[in-house]
Structure 1
Amino acid sequence: MIAEGSDRYPNTTAEDWVTYADHVVVATAVADEALPLDDDAAANGEGSVDRMVTMQVDDVVWTSAEPRHAAPATFEWSGWGWALQNGEQIEMAAADEPRVEVGHTYIMALVHEPEFTDGGKQYPEKWVSLGSDSIIPYDGTEIGVGEVQGTVLSEAKAPDEDAVDYSLEDELTGKSIDELVAALSDATPGARADFGPAGQTDG
């Protein structure tokens, strides 16, 4: 099932990445688990099953001049889970995006969000991505090779350079991690707008 979500932060250009990310890492999904259903979903057999993925950081390839938190060695990741229909679980993924599955490796532009309280409810600190263009399959040495939408791509998919949503991810598809690092090193950070928990602008 194809799901939809909104990006937390701007993430289409190298400038976006160096403005908002704390770190860019290469990370491998090493474990995952389905989270408990809420009472309504359990009773009705309808709703969604959330999934938590344990990510192991293999390499930190870029760090902001002013990171909000040190890069993690491992972190928990809220990945796409399953839609529950008539009691049956159907895998969910976003169109043309990684589902983030165990055994696969990804390039991730990460932001650390501190714990906060909203409406009397406390939310724990966590690592999140900038958005849909900041999680990139990277199973080998070529950007864009790996898991996308639950399917493994053995070669990078050629991007459409004329597409209106052409992004840094598209620009780097088929290239090396060194070329990503060079692009980030050449980019100039802009002023950070107020996104994330404090502004409650993320989806």
Structure 2
Amino acid sequence: MLTTERTAVRAGLATLAAVAAAVAGLALTGSGTGSGEPPARARPAADGLLVGQASDRLPADTARDWAGYADHVVAVRAEAERALPAGPEETARGEGYLGRAVRLRVTRTLWTRPGAPALPGTVEADMPGWVFHGTSRRPYAHAGASRVEVGHDYLMPLARDGGGAWTPLAPGAILPFDGGVIGRGERRGGPAEPGELAGRVTGRGAEDLARLLRAARPDPLVLRYAGLDPDRRLARVREAMAEGG
């Protein structure tokens, strides 16, 4: 049974520092999101939205990836949002990045990893926010991904990290789900080449995704470290692969 407590969730997206640097057009040597790729310079869209690249923190391309790193795959409704305070340096400078916390209500659980920690029925997730300058601000989104807007529905693979927070596996793993159809709805980051799993379920229903996840068999090497949080699990898998398995 899901509880109704609100739980803080750290998004498995780009770090706030990386996003702030990206929207300012600064070069970085790494984003700290798992793959080590720096975000590209943000570009303005026609509606004033700023769009920038973000590297995936965890593997999220295939059903095998989702089954290996997610704790739960759920349908959620974005119910409310609030701006998070800017850092002291950005406040003093009068420009920078404002984070955004979105309250998500879990409407359905499609799949749960054996032995996974229980998921609350309502979570508050950090999602892409705004770039501000003085009293004005512009929304920011990851390229090819949903921004997660209030009133829309999504499917998300969530995992609890080492700090106890819940996080989506990657920006592209957040699937629009308005009207119960995968791929229909908000994707303010623009179109993107879908991952292998997303491509298989686009235009279909939640049960089609659930069926693929039930049939998925995670990599045995990932299962070897299933007792670790997802970030440590990935680190140990990479170490083992470098040592020859």
TM-score, scaled relative to structure 2: 0.68
Is residue 95 from structure 1 mapped to residue 170 from structure 2 by the alignment? Answer: no
Is residue 149 from structure 1 mapped to residue 198 from structure 2 by the alignment? Answer: no
Give 1:100-119 correspondences, 5 Å limit. 100-115=148-163
Distance (Å, rounded) in 1 between the aligned partners of 2:231 and 2:210: 28
Q: Identity of counterpart residues, as a percentage?
A: 35
Is residue 5 from structure 1 mapped to residue 48 from structure 2 by the alignment? Answer: no
Distance (Å, rounded) in 2 between the aligned partners of 1:197 and 1:13: 18
- Out of 203, 213, 216, which is 1:184 matched to? 213
Provide the aligned C-alpha RMSD in A: 2.3
The 8 Å contact of residues 113 and 127 in structure 1, kept in 2 or not, is answered as yes
Query: Who is 2:77 aligned against?
Result: 28
Is residue 77 from structure 1 mapped to residue 106 from structure 2 by the alignment? Answer: no
Give the Å deviation of 1:150.
6.6
Is residue 172 from structure 1 mapped to residue 217 from structure 2 by the alignment? Answer: no
Say which structure, 1 or 2, has more relative contact order (CA 8 Å, 6+ apart).
Answer: 1
The 8 Å contact of residues 49 and 83 in structure 1, kept in 2 or not, is answered as yes
The 8 Å contact of residues 144 and 174 in structure 1, kept in 2 or not, is answered as yes
Q: Which amino acid in 2 is paired with 1:25?
A: V
**Which runs of 5 or more structure 2 residues have no equivalent in the other structure?**
1-49, 236-245
Equivalenced residues, count: 181
Residue-by-residue CA offset, 1:117-168 (whole Å, 9 max, x unaligned): xxxxxxxx211011123210001121001111178xxxxx8x8xxx6x6421
Distance (Å, rounded) in 2 between the aligned partners of 1:53 and 1:114: 21
Q: Which amino acid in 2 is paired with 1:77?
A: A
Query: Who is 1:56 aligned against?
Result: 105
Q: Which amino acid in 1 is paired with 2:198?
A: E
The 8 Å contact of residues 172 and 179 in structure 1, kept in 2 or not, is answered as yes
Q: Which is further off, 1-10 or 139-148? A: 1-10
Query: Who is 1:122 aligned against?
Result: none
The 8 Å contact of residues 29 and 54 in structure 1, kept in 2 or not, is answered as yes
Q: Any idea what SS the aligned residue of 1:170 has?
A: helix
Residue-by-residue CA offset, 1:23-69 (whole Å, 9 max, x unaligned): 000011111100112222222222100011111000111001121x1
The 8 Å contact of residues 82 and 90 in structure 1, kept in 2 or not, is answered as yes
The 8 Å contact of residues 9 and 195 in structure 1, kept in 2 or not, is answered as no
Query: Who is 2:176 aligned against?
Result: 137
Distance (Å, rounded) in 1 between the aligned partners of 2:195 and 2:127: 24
Q: Which amino acid in 2 is paired with 1:90?
A: R
Give the Å deviation of 1:3.
2.3
The 8 Å contact of residues 161 and 229 in structure 2, kept in 1 or not, is answered as no
**Which runs of 5 or more structure 1 residues have no equivalent in the other structure?**
116-124, 152-156
Give the Å deviation of 1:174.
0.5
- Out of 78, 84, 89, which is 1:40 matched to? 89
Distance (Å, rounded) in 1 between the aligned partners of 2:83 and 2:110: 30
Distance (Å, rounded) in 1 between the aligned partners of 2:124 and 2:104: 6
Q: Which is further off, 125-134 or 82-91? A: 82-91
